[in-house]
Amino acid sequence: MGDMIDLSGDGGLLKTIIRKAKIDALAPSESIPLVDVHYEGTLAETGEVFDSTHEDNTVFSFEIGSGTVIKAWDIALRTMKVGEVAKITCKPDYAYGSAGSPPDIPPNATLVFEVELVACRPRKGASLSSVSDEKARLLELKKQREMIAASKEEEKKKREEAKAAAAARIQAKLESKKHQGKGKGKAK
């Protein structure tokens, strides 16, 4: 497991990455705020599972920032990428607070979720071009990094060839100087 990250700055919302996403995976954004997640929620105090999408193999979908989920999820899911699995521990202030969510979640409960970000997509009716633009931008960045790496490799190769050529010239000069002294004035 990864390091624990304090997403709230006050210890109220902690995230530990269990499985990292691929580097080029999509992340929720203003243009793609709808997310699908698999999760299992447990009470930190007892370890009792109070909710899960795993039993019926469904996904839970919501829009980040719309206030339809607990504060912890709005914050934590913004930091995730598709394919990532994370353990999210949230104190009551980032969950259901002093009211709880009876009958399953008591008042002032700290909750632990294992969440997998399965997908993110634009709002219905929104243009997919913004998602395509984001993918194109990421692809362009990847190509630029590859071109820079190839350019650096080519420069390195040229430097090595220049060093080898210089070494060969020096060696040739040394060899010619060795042979210069031989044969002069020895002819009879």
Catalytic residue set: 39, 50-51, 70, 96, 113
Burial of 57 (0-12, 13-18, 19+ CB in 10 A): exposed
Give the number of other CB atoms < 10 A from CB of residue 115.
25
Nearest Cα neighbor of 64 from 53, 74, 52, 49 is: 74
The structure tokens 């521990």 sit at 89
Burial of 127 (0-12, 13-18, 19+ CB in 10 A): exposed
Q: Rounded to whole angstroms, how far apart are CA atoms 86 and 77?
A: 9
